[in-house]
Amino acid sequence: MKVILPFAIALLALTGCSALASDESTETKWFETKEETIDYGIKEEKIKKEDIIGKVSENGETFIIYKKQLEGGLGVGVSSISENEGQYAWYDPDQDVLVKNDEVKQYSSQISWGTETQSGKTFTIYTGVSEAEAPVVKTKTGEVSPTIDNKTGIYFYIQPTK
C-alpha cells in the first residue's frame, strides 16, 4: 500500500501538468495590431516575411497566404486573422498543402479545400502552380482569375461558401 499511494499521487500530478501544458499550447494569443499578429504567425509557421505571397480580405475575414518549404517540395499555407474587441489573433486550422513536388515535374493543376475561420465562416480555398501569366480557376460558381505570385507561379483564390 505504501508503494501504491506515492505512485498514484505522481500519476495524478503528471496527468494534471500535461493537461495544463497542452492547454497553454492551444491558447489563442491576442495582439493589438494586425502587424503584430502577422509577426507572431511568421514565427509560428517558421517562415520569413518574404514568404508571404498574399493577403486577402473576403467576407469580413483577412487571410494570409504564404509559401513554405515542405518535406516533398514547395507548399502553400493559408491562415486567417481573427478580430475580437479590437484585438487580433493568428488562426491556422489547416495543414499546408504541397503544390510543387521536387520529384515530379507535372503538377496538379488545381487544389481546393474547405476551411472555417475562428468566427465560424466557411470558405473554399483554391491554389496551385501555373506557368501561365493569367491562370483560370474553376469554382463551383464559375471561372475566376486568381491572384498569382510571379516568382513562384503559385496562384490562389478564396471564395466564401456561406
Give tens-digit pLDDT for 89-106: 999 999 999 998 888 876
> Which residue would you say has higher pLDDT here, 84 or 26?
84
- The answer for residues whose C-beta is within 8 angstroms of residue 122's C-beta and 6 or more apart is 114, 115, 116, 160, 161, 162
Residue 7 has pLDDT above 70, yes or no: no
> Could you tell me where the DSSP H helices lie in the chain?
4-26, 34-45
Mean pLDDT on 115-143: 91
Structural domain boundaries in the chain: 29-160
Tell me the pTM. 0.80
Q: What is the pLDDT of residue 132?
A: 78
How far is Cα 115 from Cα 57, in angstroms, rounded to an integer? 15
